[in-house]
Amino acid sequence: MNKCRADILRYRLPFRQPLTFRRNTLRERQGLILRLYCSGRYGFGEIAPLPGFSSESLDQAERQLQAFCHAVNSGQFADKASLEGWSLLPSVAFGVESALWWLQQDSWVAAPAVAPLLNGTRTEILRRLEHWQGAWPDEFKLKTGRSTLAYDCDTLSQILGIVPDFVRIKLDSNRQWSFAQAVRLAGAIDTTRVAYIEEPTGHSSEFSLLFQQTGLPFALDETVQQPGYQFEPMPGLAAIVIKPTLVGGLGRCQQLVSAAHAEGVRAVFSSSYESSIGLHILEQLSAQWTPGELPGLDTATAFVEALVDERIVAGQSINVKPAFIDKTY
């Protein structure tokens, strides 16, 4: 990669409405775009630690990314194998490996269908479903654990009363419930209508017991993000949710996909509220590595605008909207 050039763009992208992540309220998403230029081709990666979930800050990621770019621009970075000597933070690993992977792509495959995220108040969600246009998706995703258990049970029951019987709901509680609360939820609904529930309680050791007592299948999300996590089948485990910004590089993600599929467990790519560049990468990874899967990538509407709204062509440059550029270097 002696003839390569690397630079960084830092962006600030406002949300339509403030979003709260583990008591962190964000009004905008800040992140970094890595641009590589090698032999007449461009590759892009996104580095955007998510406050409240990522172990590293944006400033820490930025310093490490600057060191990588210096290595590239000074001719000290030979090829992808050179990454073995780097201990990259998860968000940086995702961005760097994505840019290197992007350089190798001659074209893109069709973006996958996604599991729509049911955002907003209960009234807004029900109105959206009552006026649904076109074919129904096989799955929707619903965040739970943000209100009372009774509210969640009632909301879910009303949703299931509207959507066709074949539609399944992916629930995501982000470890907000106790074991007793999770049992009560399962007893209040038809668990066969639930594809799985992500991280139902604060202790992963309880998940299989919950399944054995209630028949409620579960998915691992935060557990997968823990350093040193190794996939192991568990009774009731329906899926692992892979958020590359939080999990790490593409090599790590591909390893998790292969391990899960070998045991007949779903691997589902999901967003950490990346910009349209990061979402494009996640769409391609899902389409190429988990064909037929409905990823959790319905997050673009959370932003006032897309960071990029032009067609993204493999190998070609991308024009990021100047209004959202914080700095370029």
Amino acid at 99: A
CA geometry: angle at 41 spanning 38 and 45, to 5°? 80
pLDDT the model gives residue 20 = 81
pLDDT the model gives residue 80 = 64
pLDDT the model gives residue 324 = 95
**In a shared domain, residues 135 and 205:** yes
Q: How far is CA 293 from CA 151, 167, 188, 194, 237, in A?
A: 30, 14, 28, 16, 16
212-245 per-position pLDDT tens digit: 999 999 999 999 999 999 999 999 999 999 999 9
Point out which residues pair with 141 in neighbouring strands: 117, 170
The mean pLDDT of 286-295, rounded to a whole number, is 97
pLDDT the model gives residue 207 = 98
321 is catalytic: no
**In a shared domain, residues 294 and 314:** no
**What is the C-alpha to C-alpha distance for residues 223 and 203, in angstroms, rounded to an integer?**
9
CATH number where 323 lies: 3.30.390.10
**In a shared domain, residues 175 and 275:** yes
**In a shared domain, residues 53 and 182:** no
Residue 113 domain-assigned? Answer: no
CA geometry: angle at 201 spanning 195 and 203, to 5°? 120
b/e burial code for range 280-313 (CB count within 10 A of at least 16 → b): bbbbbbbbebbeebbbbbbbbebbeebbbeeebe
**In a shared domain, residues 150 and 256:** yes
**In a shared domain, residues 208 and 320:** no
Cβ atoms of residues 259 and 231 within 8 Å: yes
- For the cut 80, the answer to whether the pLDDT of residue 83 exceeds it is no
- For the cut 80, the answer to whether the pLDDT of residue 4 exceeds it is yes
pLDDT the model gives residue 21 = 76
**In a shared domain, residues 168 and 285:** yes
Q: What percent of the chain has pLDDT over 70?
A: 98
CATH number where 208 lies: 3.20.20.120
User: What is the domain range of residue 18?
Assistant: 5-108+306-328
**In a shared domain, residues 136 and 11:** no
Q: What percent of the chain has pLDDT over 90?
A: 87
pLDDT the model gives residue 24 = 81
- For the cut 70, the answer to whether the pLDDT of residue 81 exceeds it is no
- For the cut 60, the answer to whether the pLDDT of residue 2 exceeds it is no
**What is the C-alpha to C-alpha distance for residues 158 and 201, in angstroms, rounded to an integer?**
23
143 is catalytic: yes
Backbone angles phi, psi at 135, to 5 degrees: -70, 145
Active-site entry in 141, 143, 321, 327:
143
**In a shared domain, residues 101 and 30:** yes
Residue 28 domain-assigned? Answer: yes
pLDDT the model gives residue 114 = 94
**In a shared domain, residues 186 and 276:** yes
- For the cut 60, the answer to whether the pLDDT of residue 84 exceeds it is yes
Q: How many domains does the chain have?
A: 2
pLDDT the model gives residue 284 = 98
Residue 130 domain-assigned? Answer: yes
Q: Which residue has the higher pLDDT, 9 or 3?
A: 9
The mean pLDDT of 16-35, rounded to a whole number, is 90
pLDDT band at 1; cut points 50, 70, 90: low
- For the cut 90, the answer to whether the pLDDT of residue 147 exceeds it is no
Residue 324 domain-assigned? Answer: yes
SS3 26: strand
Find the distance separating the first CA and the last CA of the chain, reported in whole Å.
Answer: 20
Sequence-ordered list of residues with C-beta below 8 angstroms from that of 26, at least 6 positions apart, any chain? 15, 18, 19, 20, 51
Residue 45 domain-assigned? Answer: yes
Q: How far is CA 120 from CA 30, 193, 199, 317, in A?
A: 23, 21, 21, 36
Active-site entry in 141, 170, 243, 327:
243
The mean pLDDT of 51-68, rounded to a whole number, is 96
Residue 56 domain-assigned? Answer: yes
166-214 per-position pLDDT tens digit: 999 999 988 989 999 999 999 999 999 999 999 999 999 999 999 999 9
| Total length of the chain | 329
Residue 85 domain-assigned? Answer: yes
